[in-house]
Amino acid sequence: MSEPDHSAGHQDGIGTPDALDRLWTPHRMAYVRGESKPVDDTETQCPFCRVPAMEDAEGLVVRRGELAYVVLNLYPYAPGHLMVCPFRHIADYTETTDAEAKEVAELTKQAMHTLRTVSGVQGFNIGMNQGAVAGAGIAAHLHQHVVPRWLGDQNFMPIIGQTKTLPELLQDTRQLLADAW
């Protein structure tokens, strides 16, 4: 994901109400984007290396596999925006072992199933940004985005530079998805 596409224009599209929508009220608390941006590419600076050491609720971890894990994006493009990350600090998809690539793929499929189960998801954007030039926010650690989409969901797109989320609601979303997995 680089930046949300605002070319569609209007902000009055209304998605189908569902559990995730109700958990998503991007009005009450603002994060300053880049707050937790790493200062370099080392593992100690890497949020995707730090997160697995945290409790699931604290790190917003939804699911742990053997070689990879699933975490909610702290700066979501849509409610339920997940990322599938290998535990290993590798930057490029070609650096994955076959087993890692397989588990990332399996967790991605499970993420889609789970999001469809808890919410009326109508589509997905799935993919990896490889390199900062391609829009990767944390370029040093591979992560696959799983972004659920609803008709009219421009409504939920963050305004560039003013991404607003509510940490407590991210916690609720995490719990909902973890329970439904």
Is residue 49 near Zn ion by the rule CB under 5 A? Answer: yes
**Given the residues 81, 141, 143, 145, the one annotated as active site:** 143
- Candidates 60, 73, 78, 141; binder of Zn ion (CB under 5 A) is 141
89 is catalytic: no
Site for Zn ion in 75-94 (CB under 5 A): 89
- d(Cα 38, Cα 29) in Å, to the nearest integer? 22
- Please name every residue paired with 70 in a beta bridge, in sequence order, or none if there are none: 63, 84
**Closest residue to Zn ion, based on beta-carbon distance:** 46
Is residue 112 near Zn ion by the rule CB under 5 A? Answer: no
Query: At closest approach, how far in Å is the CB of 143 from Zn ion?
Result: 9
End-to-end CA distance of the chain: 24
Q: Which is nearer to Zn ion, 58 or 95 (CB)?
A: 95
Q: How many residues in the shown chain lie near Zn ion by CB under 5 A? A: 5
Position 161, amino acid: G
User: In a 3-state reduction of DSSP, which class is residue 132?
Assistant: helix
Q: Which is nearer to Zn ion, 73 or 114 (CB)?
A: 73
Is residue 48 near Zn ion by the rule CB under 5 A? Answer: yes
- d(Cα 136, Cα 108) in Å, to the nearest integer? 18
- Candidates 25, 31, 46, 172; binder of Zn ion (CB under 5 A) is 46
70: left (phi over 0), alpha (psi -120 to 50) or beta: beta
Identify whether the C-beta of residue 153 lies closer than 8 Å to the C-beta of residue 15: yes
Contact residues for Zn ion (CB under 5 A)?
46, 48-49, 89, 141
